[in-house]
């Protein structure tokens, strides 16, 4: 796949920059281009080495330069394209450099590291300029008045700079040829009415997110001369005034895309927006404070995408199908919608993407029937009150579902097991935290070899893990935790699978861990906690080169730890607590550094695409070059899936998601039967944040090298048979918030009562009769009658006392989905890397389950 993106990038650059003429460029223009090169390279850069002085050099063929084919005059200069290949330092904006190009029509200075404010000098000469792109620079100040001389300008892009001032008194109001005006991410004040643009009869495209709209009092706007196709003023609410809708929006008959998200608009759903602007195809009103139920007087036949997430909408969905009959994307999570999914959804034959998560929906008497037979490929109903069973029809229907999230509801019953299920497209399947029961569906493994993630956790599934799951070659994430699964872990999980995160904790799995996952080079997380697994850790454990999180807590594993454990160079969290392991702690543990560079959080993202609604606009504004099409605002809700981890210490409570895994590091061997001494080498694992060796049979002294564990937050050596003194150096551990050496045979003085050690009370030291010093009181030779220095450590007893209850160190995993709105345009121009990613993404769309939206990408076939 990879080489192909490069080709596509090359094609893109050629399309933008090439000149296919043979007529040579003008002498004075070549000289002027070399001045631009000198400006870029000042004082001593080495960019644009292909732009050379020699007389026979045809500057029309230089990268970033386009000429008119007949006369050889430069018509386009694009530093934005060059910047993808060369880096350069700050450039202070100087328009005079471009004045010599008399026929210049397009000047692309995007992402060119331009600084300073625009001086007037030079601009007035560029009378023929039709396109000016200054986006993604560090330009500031107000726009200079002489820009109003650019009377031919049709495309003006000022996105993501630091321009300020009132846009109504800027030279933009004189540029009445403008068709495309983009200025998101600046500090402009933008009067609500846009009255000063009312004579811009060609204006079609206004993109002004992340500025400040200033409400105007009593501006009576006559019908403006412009008819917009695209209007976006997201995140522009005034800090001081209540948000008001721009009143020119009453008359925009051509408007196809409208984004007023993140503005704190309040009140009822603005039905007039769709009623009076009848052409709207995409409406984005997410993150406002709208209340009530969307209602219209008559259906909005042209509306295909609506994003009204994160408002305060209530009521039921009953009206949705009648007022928006042709919806393709309905994005309405995080509201207070009640009731059921009404039967009329069956009539929404174009619905592809449905997100109703985080509402208060329920099933009523019906099942999810209304959703059968329509073309949904994304269904997210997480965190509602849906109940009832899921019938075979749900899986059998012709619905091309790829992404199914039914988690956090009250669904119950069996997942139907049907040999006839044809379901090849499923990629994500999350039904966690419901009341499903019965056996796991075997057909999943027989049919869906493309599935990426399965989360069946927190249900009541029983029986064994089907061997068929071993057929899921692309499976990345498998979570079956917190069910009642029994039997052994199928040994067929093997190296041909790319599975990397496995969570089976809290089930009734039993038997030895024989060959499951052997030689799997992708496995990163293996969580088998709280089962009944027994026997030793297999010696082949060393064959898991990526294994980073190994959690075997609370099983019946026994025997000594195999030295092969020390081959797991990526290991960063090791929890073997509450088992029956015995023998000495392996000396080789100190060979592991317990910190890794490889990211461990699961991070898959998928996009729902609004591109369809752009297609008409794209065809309309066809004079814009391909790069500009990409530079449009593509707003996609992206679903980012991360593996979450919670890390709790006694005094600090923090929940981190995803990336915490990248720096979390800990060893928990508590509640076993380990014997012998604590290896001094443990002090070499300096990345450790938690070390728990409590409730074992360890003897000897506490190694002073533990004071090298500079990151450690939790250190528990209690309930062993350690003797000697507590190394005074431990007081240097500045992050320590949990510390216990209770119930050993320690003697001498407690560590000096300062730093973190000033925060530990007597319970950290109790049960050591020969220990004295603060915080132990003088008479603290007290020993609780029943407690013995060496606890007998039956698993049960240990469990009650284990760190989990003490909350010293507590990890738990789960997937978390983060819905973010990604503005792809914001990254496309930044550098080549992102462009590649873009093409990678296109490729994914083509090969993956997005087959259904493929049509929208026709525009990319050059
Ligand atoms: C330019 O080159 C000189 C001499 O080689 C060097 O001292 C100076 O730091 C360079 N300046 C920049 C901005 O790279
Ligand atoms: C801008 O460029 C012109 C032409 O190269 C030059 O004469 C002028 O000095 C430059 N102005 C500044 C402020 O650098
Ligand atoms: C426009 O250009 C003319 C000369 O070409 C100049 O005299 C005038 O000041 C310019 N207008 C503005 C607003 O700068
Ligand atoms: C629009 O044009 C009319 C007639 O030329 C003029 O009277 C009016 O002031 C102009 N409006 C703006 C905002 O420039
Ligand atoms: C809104 O704009 C502010 C800057 O004005 C920015 O910091 C913030 O991230 C934006 N919020 C969203 C949701 O885009
Ligand atoms: C949003 O609007 C509501 C009522 O109109 C107001 O109470 C609230 O403070 C506003 N929130 C923000 C973040 O401006
Ligand atoms: C909608 O447009 C009609 C004319 O097409 C106009 O009479 C009506 O006032 C507009 N609605 C609103 C709320 O402005
Ligand atoms: C809906 O869109 C179609 C073409 O896409 C257009 O012909 C029609 O006029 C639009 N409907 C309305 C009510 O604007
Ligand atoms: C679907 O649409 C048809 C025709 O408009 C209508 O007769 C029928 O009642 C609708 N079905 C549902 C379930 O609303
Ligand atoms: C589920 O919804 C409740 C309230 O609507 C919210 O507090 C909670 O965070 C949501 N849970 C998830 C996992 O989104
Ligand atoms: C710990 O590290 C030190 C210095 O790197 C080394 O000399 C020592 O042998 C190591 N100890 C163990 C037990 O690995």
Atom of ligand 10 nearest to the CA of 383: 1
Question: Taking a C-beta distance cutoff of 8 angstroms, is the pair 447, 471 a contact?
Answer: no
The Cα 214–Cα 230 span in angstroms is: 20
Structure tokens at 440: 């796991």
**How large is the average pLDDT for residues 492-501?**
82
- Hey, is 404 helix, strand or coil? strand
Pocket test for ligand 10, best of 310, 358, 380, 410 (most atoms within 8 A of CB): 358
In Å, what is the CA distance from 475 to each residue of 358, 491, 790, 815? 27, 16, 46, 15
Cα of 830 vs its chain's centroid, Å? 19
Q: Whose CA is nearest to atom 9 of ligand 3?
A: 146
Q: Which atom of ligand 10 is nearest to the CA of 407?
A: 13
Percent of the chain topping pLDDT 70: 75
User: What six digits make up the tokens of 445?
Assistant: 């493994």
Residue 503 scores a pLDDT above 80: yes
Ligand 11 pocket residue status of 725, Cβ below 6 Å? no
CA distances from 33 to 81, 553, 748 (A): 15, 68, 81
In contact, 164 and 186? CB cutoff 8 Å:
yes
pLDDT in tens, 675-688: 999 999 999 998 88
Name the residue with the closest Cα to ligand 4, atom 8: 199
Closest atom of ligand 1 to 89 CA is 13
Q: How far is the CA of 33 from the centre of ligand 2 (A)?
A: 14
Task: Check whether the bond before 496 is cis (ω within 30° of 0).
Answer: no
- What residue owns the CA closest to ligand 9's atom 13? 344
Ligand 5 proximity of 810 Cβ (cutoff 6 Å): no
| Residue with more model confidence, 596 or 533 | 533
Helix ranges (H only) for 50-207 are 79-82
Q: Yes or no: say if 468 and 493 are a contact pair by the CB < 8 Å rule.
A: no
Query: Which atom of ligand 6 is nearest to 242's Cα?
Result: 5
Tens-place pLDDT, residues 223-271: 889 999 888 898 998 877 788 888 888 888 888 888 898 999 999 999 9
* Ligand closest in space to the Cα of 298: 8
Report all structural domains of the chain as residue ranges with CATH numbers, in order of start.
Answer: 379-487 (3.80.10.10), 501-602+642-802 (3.80.10.10)
**Confidence label for 32 from pLDDT (cuts 50, 70 and 90):** very high
Res. 215 pLDDT band, cuts 50 70 90: confident
Task: Indicate whether 855 pLDDT > 50.
Answer: no
Nearest CA to ligand 11 atom 14: 681
Among the ranges given (54-58, 226-230, 408-412), the one the predictor scored with the smallest mean pLDDT: 54-58
Give the contacts of 774 (CB within 8 A, at least 6 positions apart): 750, 753
Q: Nearest C-alpha to atom 2 of ligand 10 is from which residue? A: 358
The predicted structure's pLDDT at residue 20: 40
Asked whether the CA dihedral 471, 476, 480, 481 is positive or negative, the reply is positive
Q: Minimum mean pLDDT among 165-174, 532-541, 556-565, 591-600: which range?
A: 591-600
Residue 125 has pLDDT above 80, yes or no: yes
Can you give the pLDDT at residue 368?
A: 65
- Answer whether 708 contacts ligand 11 (Cβ < 6 A): no
Q: How far is the CA of 286 from the centre of ligand 10 (A)?
A: 17
Ligand 1 pocket member 44 (CB < 6 A)? yes
Give the 3-state secondary structure of 439-467.
CCCCHHHHHCCCCCEEECCCCEEEECCCH
Give residues (CB < 6 A) around ligand 2. 35, 94, 96-97
Res 616 pLDDT > 50: no
Coil, helix or strand at residue 212: strand
The DSSP call for residue 492 is: T
Judged by its nearest atom, the ligand closest to the C-alpha of residue 256 is 8
Residue with the smallest CA separation from ligand 11 atom 4 is 684
> How far is Cα 399 from Cα 376, in angstroms, rounded to an integer?
6
| CB proximity list for 56: less than 8 A, separation 6 or greater | none
Q: Would you tell me how many other CB atoms lie within 10 Å of the CB of residue 471? A: 18
Close Cβ partners of 805 (under 8 Å, ≥ 6 residues apart):
none
Contact 566, 660 (CB under 8 A): no
pLDDT at residue 372 greater than cutoff 60: yes
The pLDDT of residue 34 is above 80: yes
Among 272, 273, 277, 300, say which to mutate for ligand 7: greatest number of ligand atoms within 8 Å of CB: 272
> How remote is the CA of residue 311 from the centroid of ligand 5, in Å?
17
DSSP letter, residue 31: H
Q: Name which residue sits closest to atom 9 of ligand 7, judged by CA.
A: 250
Band of pLDDT at residue 663, cut at 50, 70 and 90: low
- Is the pLDDT score of 861 beyond 70? no
Q: How far is it, in rounded angstroms, from Cα 676 to Cα 697?
A: 7
Higher-confidence position of 740 and 369: 740
Does the C-beta of 210 come closer than 6 Å to ligand 5? yes
Closest CA to 185 of 213, 217, 218, 163: 163
Rounded Cα gap, residues 215 and 210, in angstroms: 15
Write down the pLDDT at residue 798. Answer: 63
What is the position in ligand 7's atom list of the atom closest to the CA of 272?
13
CA 683 to ligand 11 centroid distance, Å: 9
Over residues 297-330, the pLDDT tens digits come to 989 999 988 989 999 999 999 999 899 999 888 9
Quick one: DSSP state of residue 794?
-
């Amino acid at each position: 796949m990879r080489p192909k993106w490069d080709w596509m990038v090359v094609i893109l650059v050629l399309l933008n920059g090439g000149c296919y003429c043979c007529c040579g460029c003008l002498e004075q223009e070549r000289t002027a281009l070399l001045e631009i090169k000198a400006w870029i390279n000042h004082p001593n850069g080495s960019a644009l080495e292909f732009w050379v002085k020699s007389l026979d050099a045809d500057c029309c063929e230089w990268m970033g330069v386009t000429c008119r084919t007949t006369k050889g005059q430069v018509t386009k200069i694009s530093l934005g394209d060059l910047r993808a290949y060369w880096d350069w330092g700050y450039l202070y904006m100087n328009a005079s450099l471009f004045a010599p190009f008399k026929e210049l029509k397009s000047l692309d200075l995007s992402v060119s590291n331009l600084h300073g404010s625009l001086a007037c000098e030079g601009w007035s000469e560029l009378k023929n300029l039709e396109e000016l792109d200054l986006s993604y620079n560090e330009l500031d100040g107000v726009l200079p008045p002489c820009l109003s001389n650019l009377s031919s300008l049709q495309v003006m892009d000022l996105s993501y700079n630091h321009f300020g001032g009132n846009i109504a008194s800027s030279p933009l109001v004189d540029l009445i040829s403008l068709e495309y005006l983009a200025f998101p991410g600046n500090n402009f004040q933008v009067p609500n009415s846009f009255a000063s643009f009312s004579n811009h009869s060609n204006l079609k495209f206004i993109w002004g997110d992340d500025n400040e709209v200033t409400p105007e009092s009593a501006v009576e706007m006559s019908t403006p001369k412009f008819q917009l196709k695209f209007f976006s003023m997201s995140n522009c609410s005034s800090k001081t005034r209540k948000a008001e809708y721009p009143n020119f929006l009453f008359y925009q008959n051509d408007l196809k895309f409208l984004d007023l998200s993140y503005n704190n608009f309040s009140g009822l759903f603005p039905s007039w927006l769709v009623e009076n602007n009848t052409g709207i195809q995409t409406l984005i009103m997410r993150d406002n404070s709208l209340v009530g139920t969307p209602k219209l007087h008559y259906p909005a036949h042209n509306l295909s995408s609506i994003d009204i997430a994160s408002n305060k909408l209530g009521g039921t969905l009953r009206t949705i199908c009648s007022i928006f009959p042709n919806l393709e994307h309905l994005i309405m999570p995080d509201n207070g919608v009640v009731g059921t999914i009404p039967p009329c959804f069956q009539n929404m034959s174009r619905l592809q993407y449905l997100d109703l998560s985080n509402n208060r929906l329920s099933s009523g008497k019906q099942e999810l029937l209304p959703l059968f037979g329509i073309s949904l490929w994304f269904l997210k109903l997480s965190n509602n009150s849906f109940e009832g069973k899921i019938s075979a029809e749900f899986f059998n229907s012709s619905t091309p579902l790829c992404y199914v999230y039914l988690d956090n509801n009250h669904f119950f019953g069996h997942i139907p097991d049907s040999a006839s299920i044809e379901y090849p497209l499923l990629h994500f399947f999350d039904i966690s935290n419901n009341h499903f029961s019965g056996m796991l569906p075997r057909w999943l493994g027989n049919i869906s070899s493309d599935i990426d993630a399965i989360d069946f956790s927190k249900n009541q599934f029983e029986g064994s893990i089907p061997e068929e799951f071993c057929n899921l070659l692309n499976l990345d994430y498998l979570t079956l935790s917190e069910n009642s699964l029994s039997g052994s872990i199928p040994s067929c999980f093997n190296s041909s699978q790319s599975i990397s995160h496995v969570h089976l904790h809290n089930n009734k799995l039993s038997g030895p861990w024989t060959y499951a996952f052997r030689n799997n080079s992708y496995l990163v997380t293996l969580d088998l906690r709280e089962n009944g697994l027994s026997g030793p850790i297999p010696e082949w454990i060393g064959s898991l080169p990526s294994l980073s999180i190994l959690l075997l807590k609370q099983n019946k594993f026994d025997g000594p730890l195999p030295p092969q454990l020390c081959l797991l160079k990526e290991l960063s969290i090791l929890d073997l607590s509450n088992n029956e392991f015995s023998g000495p702690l392996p000396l080789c543990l100190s060979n592991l550094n317990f910190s890794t560079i490889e990211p461990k959080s699961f991070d898959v993202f998928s996009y729902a695409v609004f591109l369809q609604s752009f297609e008409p606009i794209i065809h309309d504004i066809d004079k814009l070059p391909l790069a500009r099409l990409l530079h449009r605002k593509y707003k996609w809700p992206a679903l980012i899936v991360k593996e979450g981890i919670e890390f709790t210490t006694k005094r600090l409570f923090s929940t981190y998601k995803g990336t915490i895994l990248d720096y979390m590091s800990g060893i928990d061997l508590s509640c076993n039967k380990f014997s012998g001494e604590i290896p001094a080498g443990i002090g070499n694992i300096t990345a450790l944040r938690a070390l728990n060796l409590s409730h074992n049979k360890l003897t000897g002294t506490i190694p002073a090298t533990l004071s090298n564990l500079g990151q450690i937050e939790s250190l528990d050596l209690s309930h062993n048979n350690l003797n000697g003194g507590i190394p005074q150096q431990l007081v240097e551990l500045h992050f320590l918030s949990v510390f216990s050496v209770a119930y050993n045979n320690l003697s001498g003085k407690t560590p000096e009562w300062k730093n973190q050690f000033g925060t530990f009370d007597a319970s950290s030291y109790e049960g050591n009769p020969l220990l004295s010093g603060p915080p132990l009181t003088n008479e603290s030779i007290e020993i609780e009658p029943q407690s013995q220095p060496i606890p007998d450590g039956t698993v049960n007893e240990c469990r009650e006392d284990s760190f989990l209850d003490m909350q010293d160190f507590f990890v738990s995993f789960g997937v978390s989905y983060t819905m973010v709105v990604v503005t792809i345009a914001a990254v496309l121009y930044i550098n080549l890397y992102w462009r590649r990613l873009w093409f990678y993404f296109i490729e994914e769309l083509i090969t993956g389950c997005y087959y259904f939206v493929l049509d929208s990408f026709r525009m990319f076939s050059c």
